[in-house]
Amino acid sequence: MSENMVLQVEGLCFAYPECGVLDQWSAALPAGLALVRGDESSGKTTLLRLLAGELTAQAGRITLQGVNARETPKAYAQQVFWADPRSGDLDQLTARGWLGSLPARYPSWDAAALAVHTEGFSLHEHLDKPFYALSTGSKRKVLMAGARASGAPLTLIDEPVGGLDKPSAAYLGRALAQVASQPGRVVVVAHYEALPGVPWGTVVELHG
């Protein structure tokens, strides 16, 4: 793997019983921002779940900073941030409780960054609510605040603007732009179009 690449994907193949999704898909992503763009049902979320280790590919290799996802899954998982905004796994936790659990998992956790993003996303009034009581937009904002503060070498964000109000969407763009200059970290965002003003380093197209 090139020393300039944080994430390398080679020959990835994945299919559900009813349909194929990825066939010999490969990509090399340097540090910075990467956009996975595609229409509905093009495989964006499936790709993020594969990169997160939540799904297992039928073939192919995923390597993150020299760590192979298949050969050393635990070491790989320790370098990845992924929280599915559609999942109900966090429903019984409060936003504050979940955020408070993250420093133990992520060695590069940035408490100052969390404070900045909590303010930027106007999350203070929602921190003591359980996830099931949060709106779609508020839930996404909590997850993205955690994602940005995690410092994880591979950070995966799915459909980030779903349910966001305009001020929060504008703040998201600024927060993502800050990642572009961070060494050793790639943030992969799946969305159907490029977010305005965000300096994408890599754009990957999925066609389903």
Structural domain boundaries in the chain: 5-205
Q: How much of the chain exceeds pLDDT 70, in percent?
A: 98
Instruction: State how far the Cα of 124 lies from the Cα of 78, in Å rounded to an integer.
Output: 28
pLDDT tens digits for range 92-106: 999 999 999 999 999
pLDDT score at 208 = 64
**42-46: long-range contacts at Cβ-Cβ below 8 A with a sequence spacing of 24 or more?**
42/206, 42/207, 42/208, 43/206, 43/208, 44/158, 44/159, 44/190, 44/191, 44/192, 44/206, 45/84, 45/158, 45/159, 45/190, 46/14, 46/21, 46/22
pLDDT tens digits for range 166-190: 999 999 999 999 888 788 999 999 9
pLDDT tens digits for range 190-202: 998 888 889 999 9
pLDDT tens digits for range 72-92: 999 999 999 999 999 999 999
Q: Mention the CATH class of domain 5-205.
A: alpha beta
Does 2 have pLDDT greater than 70? no
pLDDT tens digits for range 96-134: 999 999 999 999 999 999 999 999 999 999 999 999 999
pLDDT band with cut points at 50, 70 and 90 for residue 1:
very low
